[in-house]
Each structure stands twice: as C-alpha cells, then as structure tokens.
Amino acid sequence: MMKQGKGRAALSSQPETKKFRLLAFGIARDIVGGNEVDIELTDAYSVGALKTALQENYPDFKRLKSLAIAVNETYRTDEHILNTNDEIVIIPPVSGG
C-alpha cells in the first residue's frame, strides 16, 4: 500500500495536460478560425490561464482586452478554476446596430 501511494504521488507531481473545448462567438470565430476550438492547459486550469493560452496561440486576443469568458452560462473572472467538461464560451463585444 505504501509503495503504491508513493508511486501515485510521484506521478501526480508531473504536470497534467488537460484539454478544454471553447465555443467562440463574434470576432473570436475569425480569430480561432471556427465556432469551436480546443485549448490544452498544463498545470494551471483557471480562466486566466486559458486567456493566456489563447493569447499565445492567437496573438489577436492580446489586443482584445475585454474578452469575456462564460463558464457553464456564467461570466467568470480570471481566478475561476475550469473543469474539462465545462461549457466555455468566449464572447467578444460586438457593436453593430
């Protein structure tokens, strides 16, 4: 039992990569090139980490300061922790009338 436990501890110290699926709206669709995009996060799984990963993969997001992220139909701030089965929506502002 002890041995097994140790082995697990060693394994879990490796950062785990998790995949999150995002639904895009508005100009975010142009930026990611589709209505959906998968983003992989390692180590940190917060909304803030997700935004950083988006900005690294798609530099245009760096210029979009007001990038609203909704998780399971609620707008969330950077500290919010994501689960892989969450419905994550990116909503950029639109101005048309």
Give the binding site for another protein (CB under 8 A).
25-27, 35, 60, 63-66, 68, 70, 73-75, 77, 89, 91-97
Judged by beta carbon, residue 4 or residue 33, the one nearer another protein is: 33
**Closest separation between CB of residue 43 and another protein, Å?**
27
**Closest separation between CB of residue 67 and another protein, Å?**
9
**Closest separation between CB of residue 33 and another protein, Å?**
13
**Closest separation between CB of residue 23 and another protein, Å?**
9
C-alpha distances (whole Å) from 10 to each of 3, 38, 61, 87 are 11, 28, 36, 31
Whole-angstrom Cα distance, residue 12 to residue 37?
27
Judged by beta carbon, residue 3 or residue 63, the one nearer another protein is: 63
Judged by beta carbon, residue 1 or residue 73, the one nearer another protein is: 73
Whole-angstrom Cα distance, residue 92 to residue 54?
13
- Residue 86 is encoded by which pair of tokens? 């969450």
CB 23 within 8 A of CB 89: yes
Whole-angstrom Cα distance, residue 97 to residue 11?
54
